[in-house]
Amino acid sequence: MQREQRPGKAEGCGGHDSPTLAVADALAIVRERARALQQTERVALRSALDRVLATELVAPIDVPGHDNSAMDGYALASASLPAEGWATLTLVGTAWAGRPCEREVSPGECVRIMTGAAIPRGCDMVVMQEQAQRDGERVRVPGPPRPGANIRRAGEDLAAGQPALAAGTRLGPAQLGLIASLGISECDVFRRPRVCFFSTGDELREVGQPLEPGQIHDSNRYTLYGMLRHCGVEATDLGVVADDEQSLRRAFAQAAGADLIVTSGGVSVGDADHVAGVFGEQGRILFGSVALKPGRPVVFGTFGEGLFFGLPGNPVSAMATFYLFVRPALRQLSGERGPEPVPSLLATCRTALSSRRGRLELLRGRLLTVAPGRYEVEPAGAQGSGRLSSMAQADCFIVIAEDQVELPAGSEVLVQPFAGFC
């Protein structure tokens, strides 16, 4: 476990002796600052996978570009067919996908046509091959006439000039295919955020190193790494930084130019807590304490053209504050405009819960589906902010609002599934 941080005062520009903010107010500040720092770039289509579209995409052409057959069969003029019974037509050619039949088809004639092939001139319907009877160059086709049958019209999917994809759309496989169908090889997307992260603490040792008395393995950088990877950013691990001002200055200098700097530990007022003070020499602290359990001491500010998050040292506190503040900032920087990919839901709590008025509390929980659309939830293990094992057992946060104090068993609570976050 990494040490608990308590909120306190830090020297430097902005300080963090400001009042404790409500989570919603702090989050509004984070989103506003992140939105102002969005940057875009043009990339090749394949490089746009899982990126967010920066500008509206308008179809430059019709898709499909021509009337074409929806199936294998025979193209003909509907006027060739009787209202009842059969007509015998003369086969005058074949239309292949990519190799159209060039001649115009007259009444009483038909063309063998393949799926995707352009509809020949003079034809306004296609009869599927299973419904026709062919004997050499003679084809018997049943009525009645059905103009437009089995034909996909030009521009049926997208018409030239029609909006194809809205700005803010995350580009998955289907979206890449749609863009490719328009003949577009490059598109403007929001740039992936560049993130530098490090842990602070003289007591920390790398995984795999032997521990001496008073030392612990650095777990936070591994949870930060995992959460950053799930956010799809370019992450640079700057390792463990010692609890002294010179080491921190070097680390901040190394991280300069990043869109986001994330640290864990050293944001309180102990003799070895220098993160906020050193950061404040070059950056501006916007807040340093939020009404949250776990994770009250969290420092947020601007650093050059980027943003800074100083997270608490306790593992669960670091994860909770990343979830509440860092991830929304990264979504904003990445251009996301829609709701969270995994929405919050309501569940019935199996046990009684209690909290302190005036702060938001996140409890680790296990979510159970009891019926389609009906969920129950229960706390997962001990809830101490250093208990990473219970975080590993959980699959959601149980969100206890600021005005909720006593919740008896059976109460309806808000739940946020992790769904790939942790």
What residue spans in the chain does CATH classification 3.90.105.10 cover?
A: 41-63+156-190
For 275-306, what is each residue's pLDDT tens digit? 888 888 889 999 999 999 998 889 999 998 99
- Residue 16 is predicted with a pLDDT of 46
- Mean of pLDDT values over 165-175: 95
| Region(s) of the chain under CATH 2.170.190.11 | 68-152
Mean pLDDT of 14-28: 78
Q: pTM of the prediction?
A: 0.79
- Of all residues in the chain, the percent with pLDDT exceeding 90 is 71
Fold (CATH) for 41-63+156-190: Molybdopterin biosynthesis moea protein, domain 2 (3.90.105)
Report the topology of domain 23-39+191-333.
Molybdenum Cofactor Biosythetic Enzyme; Chain A (3.40.980)
What residue spans in the chain does CATH classification 2.40.340.10 cover? 345-417
The residue that leads in pLDDT, 272 or 160, is 160
User: Which residue's entry shows tokens 């969005």?
Assistant: 38
What average pLDDT does range 92-107 have in this prediction? 96
According to the model, what pLDDT value does residue 110 have? 98
- The CATH class, in words, for 345-417 is mainly beta
Token pair belonging to 358? 């005036």
Instruction: Give 17's pLDDT tier (boundaries 50, 70, 90).
Output: low
Helix axes 275-282, 245-255, angle to 10 degrees: 50
Which pLDDT belongs to residue 122?
Answer: 97
Query: Quick check: 387 pLDDT over 50?
Result: yes
Residue 82 has a pLDDT of 96
Q: What is the pLDDT of residues 58-73, one digit of tens each?
A: 999 999 999 999 999 9
Higher pLDDT, 230 or 41: 41
Q: What is the mean pLDDT of residues 208-215?
A: 81
Residue intervals of the chain classified under CATH 3.40.980.10 are 23-39+191-333
Is pLDDT of 377 > 60? yes
What mean pLDDT, rounded, does the chain reach? 89
68 vs 5, more confident: 68
254-269: pLDDT as tens digits: 999 999 999 998 765 5
At 321 the pLDDT is 94
User: Residue range 35-46: average pLDDT?
Assistant: 96
* 16-20, 77-81, 261-265, 284-288, range with the lowest pLDDT: 16-20
Q: Please write the tens of the pLDDT for every residue from 355-373.
A: 888 999 999 999 999 999 8
- So what's the pLDDT on residue 243? 83
d(CA 215, CA 201): 10
Confidence of residue 207 (pLDDT cuts 50, 70, 90): confident
Most confident of 16-30, 64-78, 202-216: 64-78
* The pLDDT of residue 37: 94
Q: Cα–Cα distance between 74 and 92 in angstroms, integer?
A: 11
Rounded distance between C-alpha atoms, residue 5 and residue 220, angstroms: 14
What is the per-residue pLDDT for 382?
73
Neighbouring CB atoms inside 10 A of 310's CB total: 29
pLDDT band for position 14 (50/70/90)?
Answer: very low
Compute the average pLDDT of residues 228-246.
91
pLDDT at position 282: 86
Topology at the third CATH level for domain 68-152 = Molybdopterin biosynthesis moeA protein; domain 3 (2.170.190)
Report residue 6 as tokens: 């308590």
